Structure 1
Amino acid sequence: MKSYQIENEHVLIEFLDYGGTITKMISKKTGTNFVLSYDEWESYYLNPYFFGATIGRNAGRTFPPHYINSQKESVLLDTNEGNVHLHGGKNGVHQVIWEVSKNDESSYSLRYFDDSSNYDPMALKLVYRLEDNRFTIIMEGNSDVPTICNLTNHMYFNLNQSKEYPITSHLLKIAPAKIQIIDEQFIPTGEYSTMAIPEYRQFNFLKEKPISKSLNLGTRLSKICADGIDLAYCFLKPEESQPKITLTDEAKRNRLKIYSDQESCVVYTLNKLNRFLKVNGGTPIQKFGGVTFEMQRKPNYVHESAEALSTNYHAYTTFEIN
């Protein structure tokens, strides 16, 4: 496992070749690491919370666990969360060493040929680029036959200087979207909501508000989400010039804006803990200790979209650090 850095006068980015994992996104203006990272590098081999990792071949949950390939055959997917295929299954790309090459002083390329998953073989490429205060991740895939590809990054953000404070007081704004309604397995039911009805209204972040407003609601959906957020926000507009996500700490010292060409974002507020590891200098990991924004195709799209397969995949997400 090796680490690499990209740095300028505004931001320092650190990542690992293992999983293409982002371990640091430091704003030099305030000296704050915007992301949660394990104190011990060995924790990334298990990485129970997917901290900072590249997720694929198929981000999110797929159920039933199969897909129809280009030959119209049903291909069985392995399961790693009950009966669900999660984040690429047992051979997800967060668990492999990516080949890293330096492009120039501001960017690296990471490559991995995926021929060990349940999907057709595909050459994958990541580009990590830092320009001023904007860090961009470009994700690409190329295969000989149409296949599945849906990549994302799983950074957890906490804009507090000290990670002993959770993200409950962070201010969140999300571009116009509808949420996928999920069942007890976190699988989309096929129903969507614009969050206009009272049961779902507190999940609406069209206007900036504290994340705490959406926690511990006592509703059915809130209880499914373990009293936090674990939902896909499916954007209503393809607009890329405006941020899909804006996150600000309570003191308004640190702000993150996220731009992306992806159709949805899974927002998850670290609701469920099963391993109490230490992060960011000795702080015990805690519920609501961070929030992740997984830019991706709609969860379970392999069973919804008539255009699930492709020979060429391209996606980007830009993080503006203020």
Structure 2
Amino acid sequence: MKLAGSFIIFAIVVCTLFTSCKTKEIELSSYSGIDAQNFKGTVDGKKTDLFLLSNGKIGAAITNYGGRVVGLLVPDKEGKLVDVSLGMAGVKAYEQCTEPYFGALIGRVGNRIANGNFSLDGKEYQLFKNNGPNTLHGGKKGFQYVVWDADQLNDSTLKLNYLSKDGEENFPGNLSVEVIYSLRGTGLDIQYKWSSDARTVANLTNHAFFNLNGEGSGTIINHQLMINADTYTPVDETLIPTGELAAVLSTPFDFNTLTEIGERIDTLKNEQLLFGKGYDHNYKLNRSSNALEKVAKVIGDKSGIVMDVLTTEPGLQFYSGNFMQSKNKMKNGSLDDFRTAFCLETQHFPDAPNQPGFPSIIVEPGREYSSHSVYSFGILK
């Protein structure tokens, strides 16, 4: 990936803020509230652990329980490391959490499937309904609850593998998944690969909850957001897409220029915002190719941290933390208060198996599929 000139300059500046640019500078002690022992255990007969990645510029703490990003350290405008990803203090905390998806890898099918049902090759598949009348993020035991096989390849790279067996959550086919987390420059790079021995469906993503002012710093409604999209997929009252593409122009969904998240979020006359209790919608990204492209930007109003989102995916789910209910304690002791984090999930479209007009998520046997997304960080100039 080639970073823009401003980010190259930023990387040089960051190095001068520390004594040197060595991995050892971003250690476990740099994270607030993380004890590695709380991640060591056994779930479903497989060992869980915590893995620290660093390239001297940024750092990430990742557990193989759910493939979760537990913490993500990036420098703010003062050169101070800020943890911009919400996470919990250990595996037990994640198991007991009322929000299942903090930082997790999502599968087999990210987002919602209407009525928990889809048809493939003339056969009906009924899934567990875990979101009202619908299936969300893979069903009762999605990828967020499984233990991934982990291999830390070097200081800045972690490879995770998982075999989702035929019939798991009632999906067909043995689906083999590989995810590689790596720190490249000032970005968290996520590469996905998957294949199956039978025809099936898959839509993989990561569900990191971000606050660019830092975990526990308060609301995100004053963050500025840009999404490069002229249309989005409207939803019904259960948040299932209607199948149409609606223009964002002259609506609260237009983020083609940098706009505060909270500027129009409580436009109560907007039916779509009422359905989602705010933003919880998929955008059809403006793309010129299938290559990795920048599709979104967020600026932390207090920290000056800038996050660019790059992806090869056709869609982006923007979620403004509307269902956060102050019920869960994060790793630094703060609560998951209402709208104290946002998500930008790179993806194919929700309910794709039931929407013939949407990009297909069908996996053909014997073929390898891949996806690539990057969350790249800098500071406001």
TM-score, structure 1 as length reference: 0.93
Q: Does the 8 Å contact 1:233/1:267 carry over to 2?
A: yes
Residue in 2 aligned with 1:27? 74
1:304 aligns with 2:355: yes
Match of 1:157 among 184, 204, 210: 210
1:319 aligns with 2:372: no
Task: Tell me, in whole angstroms, the C-alpha distance in 1 between the residues paired with 2:215 and 2:107.
Answer: 31
Match of 1:264 among 307, 315, 318: 315
Which protein is richer in helix relative to its size?
Answer: 2
Unaligned residue ranges in structure 2 (runs of 5+): 1-47
Match of 1:171 among 224, 234, 241: 224
Q: Does the 8 Å contact 1:98/1:111 carry over to 2?
A: yes
Q: Does the 8 Å contact 1:30/1:253 carry over to 2?
A: no
Residue in 2 aligned with 1:36? 86
- Local SS of the residue matching 2:132: coil
| Counterpart AA for 1:118 | N
Unaligned residue ranges in structure 1 (runs of 5+): none
| Counterpart AA for 1:237 | R
- Local SS of the residue matching 2:169: coil
Q: Does the 8 Å contact 2:207/2:343 carry over to 1?
A: yes
| 1:240-288 alpha-carbon deviations (Å, 9 max, x no partner) | 5542111111136211111000111111111013461122412122111
Cα deviation for residue 152 of structure 1 reads 0.5
Residue in 2 aligned with 1:3? 50
| 1:158-206 alpha-carbon deviations (Å, 9 max, x no partner) | 0114623210110101112311111110011112211224xxx122100
Q: Does the 8 Å contact 1:107/1:128 carry over to 2?
A: yes
Task: Tell me, in whole angstroms, the C-alpha distance in 2 between the residues paired with 1:47 and 1:93.
Answer: 15
| Counterpart AA for 1:207 | T
- Local SS of the residue matching 1:293: strand
Identity %: 21
Q: Does the 8 Å contact 1:215/1:222 carry over to 2?
A: yes
- Local SS of the residue matching 1:169: coil
Distance 1:293 1:5, change over 3 A: same
How many equivalent residue pairs? 317
Task: Tell me, in whole angstroms, the C-alpha distance in 2 between the residues paired with 1:82 and 1:166.
Answer: 27
| Counterpart AA for 1:244 | V
Residue in 2 aligned with 1:216? 266
| Counterpart AA for 2:61 | E
| Counterpart AA for 2:183 | L
Task: Tell me, in whole angstroms, the C-alpha distance in 1 between the residues paired with 2:333 and 2:256.
Answer: 35
- Local SS of the residue matching 1:117: helix
Cα deviation for residue 41 of structure 1 reads 4.0
Compute the RMSD of aligned alpha carbons.
1.8
Residue in 1 aligned with 2:143? 93
TM-score, structure 2 as length reference: 0.79
| Counterpart AA for 1:231 | H
- Local SS of the residue matching 1:45: helix
Task: Tell me, in whole angstroms, the C-alpha distance in 2 between the residues paired with 1:162 and 1:62.
Answer: 31
Structural mapping, 1:249-260, within 5 Å = 249-251=300-302, 253-260=304-311
Which protein is richer in strand relative to its size?
Answer: 1
Cα deviation for residue 309 of structure 1 reads 1.5
| 1:28-85 alpha-carbon deviations (Å, 9 max, x no partner) | 433101111124542211443310000110000001322223x431121221112201
Match of 2:154 among 83, 90, 104: 104
Residue in 1 aligned with 2:123? 73
Cα deviation for residue 104 of structure 1 reads 2.6
Cα deviation for residue 156 of structure 1 reads 0.7
- Local SS of the residue matching 1:94: helix
Cα deviation for residue 221 of structure 1 reads 1.5
Task: Tell me, in whole angstroms, the C-alpha distance in 2 between the residues paired with 1:214 and 1:110.
Answer: 39
Task: Tell me, in whole angstroms, the C-alpha distance in 2 between the residues paired with 1:212 and 1:305.
Answer: 34
Task: Tell me, in whole angstroms, the C-alpha distance in 2 between the residues paired with 1:162 and 1:94.
Answer: 20
